[in-house]
Amino acid sequence: MDIFVRQGDSLWYYSQLFRINLQLILDSNRNIQPAQLAAGQRIRIPGFVAQIYTVRQGDSFWSIAQRRNLSNDALLLVNPTVNPNRLQVGQTIRVPLRITWRLVQGKQEYDFTRMMNDIRRLQNVYPFLQIAVIGNSVLGNAIQEVRIGTGPKRVHYNASFHANEWITTPVIMTFLNDYCLSLTNQNPIRGLVTLPLYQQTTLSIVPMVNPDGVSLVINGPPEVDPWRTRVVELNNGSTDFSGWKANIRGVDLNDQFPAEWELERERNPKVPGPRDYGGERPLSEPEAIAMANLTRSRDFARVLAFHTQGEVIYWGFENLEPPESEILVNEFSRVSGYEPVKTIESYAGYKDWFIQDWRRPGFTVELGTGINPLPLTQFDEIYQETLGIFLAGLYG
């Protein structure tokens, strides 16, 4: 919600007026110097929208503010051109509305278009979120990174490396929404006050690494050639893409990283297809390149890649992981009920490469149980199990 600075006002005053932490207001207005506020400057107040209200008989600014649990001054701020002493029946004014509900409705088929709409809606209400495009998919879809928090500890989460594991995206987007709600409404999550997490940790989220593949699984093949013909051929002539893990070119993005890539290639398919083909070389695909470049530039303390299924957490690679990894995975297990598994015979994954090159904690978290894509009937259970991991990744 936008307001305009009045002579003599300060950001601290707006923080008190709207009951929003000053840090969140500062981070929602990064282009403004607090000590140099000028009358007429536009300020964004996170966690609010301005609702249109039609004046009724007997209304006054004071009575409207009381009904909405607002101060009279808050109402004046969002209506700078309205004379409060001359309200007319039928006149429309703007009323601040605090958002206390989720904007993200995750329990539905969740493709790239839906995610983009939700990211835009979240950033509009929570402008302290920082959005960046870290690269583009084969079909030109923007791979989005969302950052939240200001702390020196840098943590990264990602989802939907694999196309038919797309349920991980609405799960992680729901957490992002709940985190924002907790911050602006000062409501703890599972007893945790989240503002200290925000101040201690900068969280980077890539909610959909493989947008082309996710859309393929949910919506079917592209309508235009050559991609339509090509993907159907790669899928053995079938238009059922429920078993498709790869990107649109038939390359498995989580077999693309230079961490014993050759060993993974030896045992996997040598031609493009729905799953497990790691390409002709590491980091050949734009989606994998985007993730590698992001990781090199951000200097993450730890990374968590969310996949499905199995209710397990993989946390080792070639005994290169630090002792901290075992402490963290035991906490993840405690809060989720998921089983820690140090290693399996698998290479070339994102967390493998991170552990190998940085010697820092990296995890692959396998959500839910069953056959991919997991049914939406599991969404609530998966979210409740994973919520503890999302939080522990910040405080651990």
Exposed e or buried b per residue across 24-53, where buried means at least 16 C-beta atoms within 10 angstroms of its C-beta: bbbbbbeebeeeebeeeeebbbbbbebeeb
Q: Which residue has the tokens 């503890």?
A: 388
Rounded Cα gap, residues 60 and 72, in angstroms: 10
Six-digit token string for 5: 């600075």
Rounded Cα gap, residues 353 and 50, in angstroms: 46
Annotation marks residue 383 as catalytic: no
Q: Given 347, 350, 383, 385, which residue is catalytic?
A: 347
Q: Helices 379-395 and 323-336 meet at what angle, rounded to 10?
A: 140
Give the amino acid at 153. K
Q: Are the C-beta atoms of residues 301 and 155 closer than 8 Å to each other?
A: yes
Six-digit token string for 73: 């001054």
Q: Given 145, 264, 366, 385, which residue is catalytic?
A: 366
Q: Do strands 153-159 and 142-148 pair parallel, antiparallel, or not at all (unpaired)?
A: unpaired
Whats the size of the chain, residue-wise? 396
CA separation (Å) from 78 to 44, 75, 157, 227?
11, 6, 37, 50
Annotation marks residue 347 as catalytic: yes
What is the DSSP secondary-structure string of 256-281?
A: -SSSSHHHHHHHS-SS--SS----SS
Q: Where are the beta strands (DSSP E) in 151-263?
A: 153-159, 201-206
Rounded Cα gap, residues 299 and 29, in angstroms: 25
CB atoms within 10 A of CB 344: 10
Q: Are the C-beta atoms of residues 313 and 361 closer than 8 Å to each other?
A: no
| 3-class SS of residue 16 | helix
Among 174, 241, 177, 240, CA closest to 210: 241
Q: Which helix (H) or strand (E) segment is 57 a member of? A: none
* Enzyme catalytic residues: 347, 366
